[in-house]
Structure 1
Amino acid sequence: MGKEAAQWWGVRQDQPGQWSAAIWAPDAQRVSVVVLDQPTPLSRESDGTFRGHFSAKVGATYMFDIDGTRIPDPAARQQSRDVHGPSCLTVLPPTADTWPGRDWRDAVVSEIHIGTFTKEGTFAAAAAQLPRLARLGINTVEVMPIAQFAGQRGWGYDGVLHYAVHPAYGTPGDFADFVAAAHRLDMSVILDVVYNHFGPEGAYLHTSSPAFFDAGRVTPWGPAIDFTQNPVRAFFIENAIMWVRDFGVDGLRLDAVHQIQDPTTPEFLAELSTSLRALNLPRPLHLIAEDERNLPDHRQSGVTDAQWNDDYHHSLHCLLTGETEGYYAPFAIDPVRDLATALTEGHVDQGQLRPGQDPTGKPRGAPSGHLPPQSFVNASQTHDQIGNRALGERLIALSSPDAMRIAHAMLLTSPFVPMLFQGEEIGARTPFPFFCDFSGDLAAAVRKGRLSEFSAFSGFDGTLPDPLDPQTFHDARPYDAPPADAAAWEDLTTRLLTWRRAVVLPLLHGGLTSASARILGPKALHVLWHFNTGKLNSVIQLGQPVPADNWPESQTQLSLGSHQNDFAFHTWIEQT
């Protein structure tokens, strides 16, 4: 963004009772900010932005009037009610949080959805549950999107007011308090943000600023965004700065960045990263991407710190379930070998032609084995991989508790950044199906779309939880009815994370030099990671026993089961 840019979006308090307003609307003729029904005309400037000043008290409601049509502020910090109503003049007190943060290599992440993480579904209730996660050894929470969306219930990926927290979860101050509560527990907070599209209801930028969107391209979720426009880039960069600076979050998970297409230099993601890293923060900043392209460039250059590694999940899923359809097809051919690649090189798809690949598609990815382990966020299940199934089943319901205990051990003791999905630490069987809160034609379109999406799968019998039924949302809460073996799962999680802190992290901080894997059979493998200060070995049995000589004794070891079991795990250290 170069020099400090003029204000393009929203309202800012210049001093108590005095505000500046701006909105980029290059196609508009007349724009006013209407506060408590009193309009203040804004001046059009050469960059297509309308700017001006007005007087009002904090809490007053306002809207923008664009050529006679009133809309909420696209950069509103808070709404008076739903996404269609007036916005509220809001000021957050400056954060006094000086928590120093943590090294990303040390992160153990739990992905949570505020609406289903607790029965109350609020920031305050979620904050009260963080001590339980901290006691287990989980030190980072990744919060699914909280930007305001239409209705009360939703995953958050249909957000339309990116600067406003979803009111069903609480106020902006409540979210700031949630972050502060996490920091008091030495826990990091990563916030999931969606900068690649807007939701289908309440996105008034389509009306006020048509130039915000790329008329020649659409995403799977709606019109594409034109990131070649400086005001568009500023909208999202200022939003990211707000979450990090004003709320104190420790990093962002950037949703589907493969849909953020930008031919300019510097590209949007690089400018976003530079702007955030230039803030004078008392703690390190973490940027994590979801990017299905499997390219290492952003991590190599420092634009991002890590990427969700779906290849790890797909390999494990196919090994445990035998599923072969859809995007699982390439990973179903030799899943144990793919899992070995994921555990030694990060991505499985690295630009090679893959059997089972869509013949009309192109190879994806590039070599990734040179990246450090903390460049990959590995997960046995995520909101995507559970919720994008027809019934929203967790992997434990598709395989077995025995299998998942070994997968749990493999995930939490390997050198990569491990991520759990809420309830996974207690062995939850609760589904996490897709849910939303639309009405009318949009609700009907969602129901029809979900049925159409799964009709191509051979095992689909037409059974689908109604995504609009509030019960589908309520049934997704994993802690309301914990499984009978929840305490045993918590003990296992604590044991594994204690091992990770004591044994794996010191090796990680010494640096990984190489990794290799030996396939012991169709459902077993031995992985060896060489560090500067030692060697970490893991024998992973996900459905078959192995010979005893693959389980050597060591002074520093951890075992689940026995080499004679189908499902067992043995990890140990060789000192150098």
Structure 2
Amino acid sequence: MTAHYSHPLPFGATCLGPDRTRFRLWAPTADRVGVELDGAKPIPMLSDAASPGWFEAELACGPGTAYRYRLQTQADGEMSVPDPASRAQQGDVHDASLVIDPNAYAWKHSGWQGRPWHEAVLYELHVGALGGFAGVMQRLPELAQMGITAIELMPVAEFPGANNWGYDGVLPFAPDAAYGTPEELKALIDAAHGLGLMVFLDVVYNHFGPEGNYLGSYAAPFFRDDQPTLWGHAIDFRQPEVADYFIQNALFWLQEYRFDGLRLDAAHAITEQDWLSKLARHVRQHVAALEPRRHIHLVLEHDGNTAHFLRDDFNAQWNEDGHHVLHVMLTSESNAYYIDYADRPAEKLARCLAEGFIYQGDPSIFREGKPRGESSVGLSSTAFVLFLQNHDQIGNRAFGDRLTTMADSRAVQAAQALLLLGPQIPLLFMGEEYSATSPFLYFTSHTDPVLAEAVRVGRHREFAALPEFSDEQKRESIPDPNALSTFMQSIPVRPVSGSTGLTAELLSIRHAHITPRLQNACAINAQAIGPAAVLARWRMGDDTLLVIMINLDQQPVSIALDGWIQPAGADLLFASDGAVDALAGGELAGFSTVVLLEPAP
């Protein structure tokens, strides 16, 4: 059975038929607006008297037509710009947009309704580093067989040049042409659904990239000049047209492309925080009205540890606290934000496992004593996405170091067992499944040489405060983000002897014993039992007790099992090498994890 899906947008180029397209643009600071079709003389667009700032035209053209908007503004004079709601570009961000027929792709797996959130095992990937949409599609069978249930694409919205992390996007509705066509992205998602895989998209609603964004010239109210951010003036979500632009973008990806969920990047940088709840509720109501049985998942990245969003509107938040404390325990690093986790890290890990966030209104040393976070007590463990690595935590390092190059492999394996067998939702970063050692660097491909140099210098300045980069020569060794070699080094290289055996084993255990019991699971208690050792328990949905003991130090620690577990009645789900014998002697071995499932009382 085949099906066609589209999400009608109230702006942009709407294909009305094989030879008819409606164009609609919000340009409140433009004096005149026209449409250039295939480079011809612009055809005037009419101002909508009922909706000030809107311009519209219905023209005789169809799918494949290249078009630009020709604008006249008092500040910048005459200019030709791409459509801010472009569904595809003829080339790059400065080039013409293309009229797209959203119904051109016939979906093969139209009966797909998604999967429940508690079944998620996320695999974050960079589309360009894996060969574009077609290259990612080739990897899907292997990922599904390994036990991954969801792939998460780093942003794919059109960005300048061919290589970019994606957070410099400026055309949020257009899949980047360097990755493939809209139909190829849909084919990737369709193939994933056929294998039982969910597909998530990382979206950036907190800023636009520095190159190729023309909105400020003809739609000045899109931004507010009283709220500077790291990326320029803040987006003004108080404007109804702006708020709707991003709500429509979320619906567009979920409906027209059939993504199963969205991850909102750096949501703390959105100045109107209440808009996040409005977005979530609007999206859920809209999708439920069309497809009541369909699963849609919304995930936040939010530095504020805003637990209230997780009680009503969002499925989960990336648990940066969990990553940071595990990183400190694995590497002993304590610079920058890691300083907040260096003191009594085992106690902090215990709080993470029992309550989700570590910082729940507590003062932060890194933030000069300012409180951070809200109470997350009582939230389900599945409200948190836990990870040992991701694009930020690898790529924001000067040399893109992976954890496998910084920590003892035995400790990393013990931490991976906690990640994949614990009740929080696990996320792996591409290559992590076979312990890749190749770096993942920060890379761009800006076409403006002045901007490219500014990014390179800014990268050096970012690390200048760290003692190891006080020497200018050391800073000069940091890879140039705009160099092609920087991108090429970031393509994960699978070692000849690389194996996904442990990852597959752990995920097999998770799907057989943990996932079926995750709904309504709740933490009982967790406590530090050594300098880098924790024992934690959860009551699962069927009243069985999940017990995890982990020691990330080389030295064993004494452990009294009485009152915590009943070894005779527990099923041993997993134990690191030598851990069982050590337990028999009253010790938790160094660099080990033990996972047990006790029967219901």
Q: Give the alignment partner of residue 102 of structure 1, picking from 90, 115, 118.
A: 115
Q: CA deviation at 1:9?
A: 2.4
Q: Deviations over 1:122-151 (max 9, x none)?
A: 101110111111111011000000000001
Task: Measure, in 1, the Cα distance between the counterparts of 2:238 and 2:284.
Answer: 17
Tell me if structure 2 keeps the 8 A contact 1:256–1:291: yes
Q: Deviations over 1:386-413 (max 9, x none)?
A: 0001111011211121111111111000
Tell me if structure 2 keeps the 8 A contact 1:64–1:73: yes
1:545 has 2:556 as partner: yes
The equivalent residue for 1:308 is 318
Task: Measure, in 2, the Cα distance between the counterparts of 1:466 and 1:65.
Answer: 36
The equivalent residue for 2:586 is none
Tell me if structure 1 keeps the 8 A contact 2:146–2:507: yes
Tell me if structure 2 keeps the 8 A contact 1:443–1:468: yes
Residue aligned with 1:446, SS: helix
Distance 1:173 1:299, change over 3 A: same
Q: Give the alignment partner of residue 15 of structure 2, picking from 13, 22, 42.
A: 13
The equivalent residue for 1:189 is 199
Q: CA deviation at 1:493?
A: 0.8
Tell me if structure 1 keeps the 8 A contact 2:17–2:62: no
The equivalent residue for 1:535 is 545
The equivalent residue for 2:585 is none
Task: Measure, in 2, the Cα distance between the counterparts of 1:194 and 1:89.
Answer: 23
Task: Measure, in 1, the Cα distance between the counterparts of 2:217 and 2:535.
Answer: 57
1:559 has 2:572 as partner: no
The equivalent residue for 1:447 is 456
Residue aligned with 1:525, SS: strand
Once the two structures are superposed, the pairs formed by residues 72-221 of structure 1 within 5 Å of their partners are 72-93=82-103, 96=107, 97-117=110-130, 121-221=131-231
Q: Deviations over 1:488-543 (max 9, x none)?
A: xx11111111111111122213x223331121110111111122421000110111
Residue aligned with 2:290, SS: coil
Task: Measure, in 1, the Cα distance between the counterparts of 2:321 and 2:232.
Answer: 26
Task: Measure, in 2, the Cα distance between the counterparts of 1:547 and 1:485.
Answer: 36
Q: CA deviation at 1:107?
A: 0.5
Q: CA deviation at 1:277?
A: 3.8
Q: CA deviation at 1:558?
A: 1.5
Q: CA deviation at 1:328?
A: 0.8
Task: Measure, in 2, the Cα distance between the counterparts of 1:334 and 1:465.
Answer: 35
Q: CA deviation at 1:109?
A: 0.5
Q: Deviations over 1:440-476 (max 9, x none)?
A: 1101100110000001111223231111111111111
Residue aligned with 2:416, SS: helix
Instruction: Tell me the TM-score normalized by structure 1.
Output: 0.94
The equivalent residue for 1:284 is 295
The equivalent residue for 1:483 is 495
Residue aligned with 2:184, SS: helix
Task: Measure, in 2, the Cα distance between the counterparts of 1:136 and 1:384.
Answer: 24
Matched residue type, 1:260: I
RMSD value, Cα? 1.9
The equivalent residue for 1:55 is 60
Tell me if structure 2 keeps the 8 A contact 1:213–1:226: yes
Task: Measure, in 1, the Cα distance between the counterparts of 2:281 and 2:224.
Answer: 19
The equivalent residue for 1:349 is 359
Q: CA deviation at 1:6?
A: 11
1:430 has 2:442 as partner: no
Matched residue type, 1:411: L
The equivalent residue for 1:26 is 28
The equivalent residue for 2:75 is none
Tell me if structure 2 keeps the 8 A contact 1:8–1:23: no
Instruction: Tell me the TM-score normalized by structure 2.
Output: 0.90
Matched residue type, 1:289: L
Q: CA deviation at 1:263?
A: 6.8
Tell me if structure 1 keeps the 8 A contact 2:263–2:298: yes
Task: Measure, in 1, the Cα distance between the counterparts of 2:428 and 2:458.
Answer: 29
Q: CA deviation at 1:568?
A: 1.0
1:43 has 2:57 as partner: no
Distance 1:240 1:347, change over 3 A: same
Task: Measure, in 2, the Cα distance between the counterparts of 1:263 and 1:141.
Answer: 27
Tell me if structure 2 keeps the 8 A contact 1:379–1:420: yes
The equivalent residue for 2:234 is 224
1:522 has 2:525 as partner: no
Residue aligned with 1:77, SS: coil
Tell me if structure 1 keeps the 8 A contact 2:147–2:508: yes
Distance 1:364 1:103, change over 3 A: same
Q: Deviations over 1:12-69 (max 9, x none)?
A: 0122311111111111111111212142211212331111211113111110011131
Tell me if structure 2 keeps the 8 A contact 1:95–1:246: no
Deviates most, 329-338 or 552-561: 552-561
Matched residue type, 2:400: G
Q: CA deviation at 1:264?
A: 6.7
The equivalent residue for 2:484 is 470
The equivalent residue for 2:595 is 571
The equivalent residue for 2:377 is 369
Q: Which runs of 5+ in 1 are unaligned?
A: none
Task: Measure, in 2, the Cα distance between the counterparts of 1:458 and 1:9.
Answer: 51
Deviates most, 208-217 or 560-569: 560-569
Once the two structures are superposed, the pairs formed by residues 252-263 of structure 1 within 5 Å of their partners are 252-262=262-272
Q: Percent identity?
A: 38
Distance 1:456 1:276, change over 3 A: farther
Task: Measure, in 1, the Cα distance between the counterparts of 2:151 and 2:458.
Answer: 31
Residue aligned with 1:341, SS: helix
Q: Which runs of 5+ in 2 are unaligned?
A: 1-6, 73-77, 583-588
Q: CA deviation at 1:547?
A: 3.4
Q: Deviations over 1:346-376 (max 9, x none)?
A: 000000224x3432x5211111021111110
Task: Measure, in 1, the Cα distance between the counterparts of 2:82 and 2:546.
Answer: 55
Residue aligned with 1:196, SS: coil
Tell me if structure 2 keeps the 8 A contact 1:74–1:161: yes
Task: Measure, in 2, the Cα distance between the counterparts of 1:140 and 1:347.
Answer: 24
Once the two structures are superposed, the pairs formed by residues 485-524 of structure 1 within 5 Å of their partners are 485-487=497-499, 490-509=500-519, 511-524=520-533
Q: Give the alignment partner of residue 250 of structure 2, picking from 230, 240, 261.
A: 240
